[in-house]
A and B are shown apart, each in its own frame.
Chain A
Amino acid sequence: MYFEKLKTAEEDWKERHREEISQAEATGAACEDGIPLKVLYTPPDAGADACADTGFPGDFPFTRGNDAAGYRKKLWTISHYAGFGSPRETNVLFRRMIDHGGVPPYMALDLPTQLGLDPDHPMARGEVGMAGTSVASLRDWETIFDGINLEDTFVGTVINAPAAVFLALHVVLAQKQGADLKKIRGNLQNDILKEFTARGNFIFPVGPSLRLVTDTLEYCAQHLPAYWPLNVCGGHFPEAGANRVHEVAFAFADAFTYVEDAVRRGVGIDSFGKGIFFLMKTNHTDLFEEVAKFRVMRRMWATRLRDRYGAKDPETMKCRILAHSGGSLLTRERPELNIARTTLACAAGVLGGVQLIGLRTMDEVFGIPTEKSELIAIGTQHVVAYETGLPDVVDPLGGSYYVEALTAEFERRVLEELDRIERMGGMVKAIESGYVRTAIADDSYRTQRAWETGKKVKVGVNKFRIEENEPPRRPYAYQPEEEQRQVAAVEQLRRERDNAAVGKALERVVEVARRPAASENNLMPAIIEAVRSYATVGEICGALRQVFGEYTEPTRF
């Protein structure tokens, strides 16, 4: 009755302003992923039961937030991302950060390490120590954490294809320090599925890669309950060009695949679900849809975990979101405007109730950020946190007719995409067939065309241009001596260690890898012993390559 009255009132309003409204509607405003936007939203758009559907924060399905008091309980974590040089330099940096009462940032590793190649491999030439630290063996891990007590230190590692080897490095070093494994905290990225479709650092085919993830989840559930072994990454999809619906659908499709594989093996969801985090983008574009996205993620994750995987613990059902602003939306033209973009991106994350925010620096588009721009990126978050009042009220946009309508429509579209993937036979099939890559490439091509034709505005690039010179930037810190040092170090290691023991340990890895994936064939114990014998990352991955082979990606678009 109430809605009918409102609808009549809206019709009357439309009639009174017919010309203005029809002109506005003719522009066809829509979000990038195609969700059409009305000029005005009213209660019927939000749905009759919007209030009942969204519930309360801290309660299932957590649409309005993970915690009842939101940021008044705990502010989001203000994060930053830093680069490293050699294991020795990394150690110095870590110790300095710990001395200053901070936590070490996530560890970046160089590309050869991420691809399981030792520094002396021919393909590693020119790339050792380039995009992060080079780690070839336990000896490097010992150097990085020299004088650092692992029981007291959270260690985050951005590693995917060889993640099991890095978990083993951490376990062995913790044991050598006499630590209690139950107290070891840290985090692996370990999201191999998005490497096939977005980030590109894959080694083994999809099936065996998935087995390695499940082996780490199972091992942590049994031995390292405080460790977080998986960050499911949605944010790499928009950086590769995907629209927002695809960002969430592909992240969830990946996450469900991991969960289902582990549950099928008999690992209970409540024993490992709390260790899963989502690494997403928070962007300034279609800002209200960004807020809707975070609300939808919480609701969908909680519902699926409870209803399909049998989660009982509400903590397991909470979708924990770490959000970074996107580098691909920043521009080299008028770079100071990137500060405006990331400020709005930060606001979107806060309005969406995420757990951590990291902002790109304004000059990242030119190379290594300057110290000044890093301080601006952190300071921007401080302004949002302490001057705007945005954190004062939980889910401040909840109940907005517009945001509730977007939330419902966004959820519908994500579910539709997930159904499509399920009909294809699941995410593994969707990856192997090339579907996911093609979907991302099509989104990316559409966006690029819209920028080039000016249909989509990029300030400073295709509109409001100002000709100016590129600002000064920090030169690449790459030193070729670092590569030679790491090559010499791995050669020295091979001379000094007990090579018979290494050979035996690697044979054991091969033997277990040959058996079918199962709890009794979990690869972690064999990899741990190989690491302990000082087998290199390249040798352990080499043993696995021998059994699993390598992934060949579809290259047709």
Chain B
Amino acid sequence: MSGQQRKIRVLMGKPGLCGHDRGIVLVVMALRDAGMEVIYSGRHNSPESLVEAAIQEDVDVLGVSILAGGHLGLCERTAALLRERNAGDIVLLAGGFIPPEDIPKLKALGVREVFRDGAKLGDIVQFIETVARERAAA
């Protein structure tokens, strides 16, 4: 890649019916301030529509936020759809109200990293910058 570098592209999405979006909106603002191209899906999305949007928008990272307890099922479907659509290289991240014992389960399903409520915005920004660089180099 010569000259200007491609900006990191991120889709932040809320799959399922949970309406809590204080956390995801904060992440959207922090990624924007870190110079990334961020798209926010708004609420009430199906995993199908999020994966479709992630592919259409050619993103590096798809971050999903779930606070109503449905994270295992919703992440499983999202990860499976990404693989089915040959988009398994899009980095899947999950955040929200997630009990610690579910973190290894989510990682086994294909979620690269989990940021529970209380995570620092700075840490999330740094993590995304790192994985996006790795992805660009691959």
Chain B positions within 8 Å of A114 at CB level: 17
Once bound together, how far apart are the Cα atoms of A379 and B121, in whole Å? 36
Q: What per-residue 1/0 map shows which CB atoms of A367-391 lie under 8 Å from chain B?
A: 1000000000000000000000000
- B21 close to chain A: CB less than 8 A: yes
Q: What per-residue 1/0 map shows which CB atoms of B7-29 lie under 8 Å from chain A?
A: 00000000011111110011011
Interface size on A, residues (CB 8 A): 40
Q: How far is the CB of A459 from chain B (nearest CB, A)?
A: 14
Q: What per-residue 1/0 map shows which CB atoms of B29-68 lie under 8 Å from chain A?
A: 1101000000111111010000000000000000000001
Q: How far is the CB of B33 from chain A (nearest CB, A)?
A: 9
Main secondary structure of the interface of A (DSSP, over half): loop
Chain B positions within 8 Å of A126 at CB level: 16, 70, 73-74
- A553 close to chain B: CB less than 8 A: yes
Is B40 touching A444 in the complex (CB atoms < 8 A)?
no
Q: How far is the CB of A108 from chain B (nearest CB, A)?
A: 12
Within 8 A of A (CB), among B61-108: 68-70, 73-74, 99-100
Q: A115-B17, A470-B100, A557-B32 are in contact. Are A127 and B22 (CB under 8 A)?
A: no
Is A441 touching B25 in the complex (CB atoms < 8 A)?
yes
Is B118 touching A127 in the complex (CB atoms < 8 A)?
no
Task: Name the contact of A445 in the complex, choosing from B20, B26, B73 (C-beta under 8 A).
Answer: B26
Chain A positions within 8 Å of B100 at CB level: 470
Is A553 touching B22 in the complex (CB atoms < 8 A)?
no
Is B19 touching A201 in the complex (CB atoms < 8 A)?
yes
28 A-B residue pairs with Cβ-Cβ distance under 8 Å, sorted by A, are: A111-B19, A114-B17, A122-B46, A123-B46, A125-B73, A126-B16, A126-B73, A127-B16, A127-B17, A130-B68, A195-B19, A200-B18, A240-B21, A240-B22, A241-B22, A328-B22, A332-B118, A366-B99, A444-B26, A445-B30, A448-B121, A452-B120, A461-B118, A552-B42, A555-B42, A556-B40, A557-B32, A557-B40
Binding site for A on B (CB under 8 A): 16-22, 25-26, 28-30, 32, 39-44, 46, 68-70, 73-74, 99-100, 118, 120-122
Binding site for B on A (CB under 8 A): 111-112, 114-115, 117, 122-127, 130-131, 195, 199-201, 239-241, 328, 331-332, 366-367, 441, 444-445, 448-449, 452, 461, 470, 476, 478, 552-553, 555-557
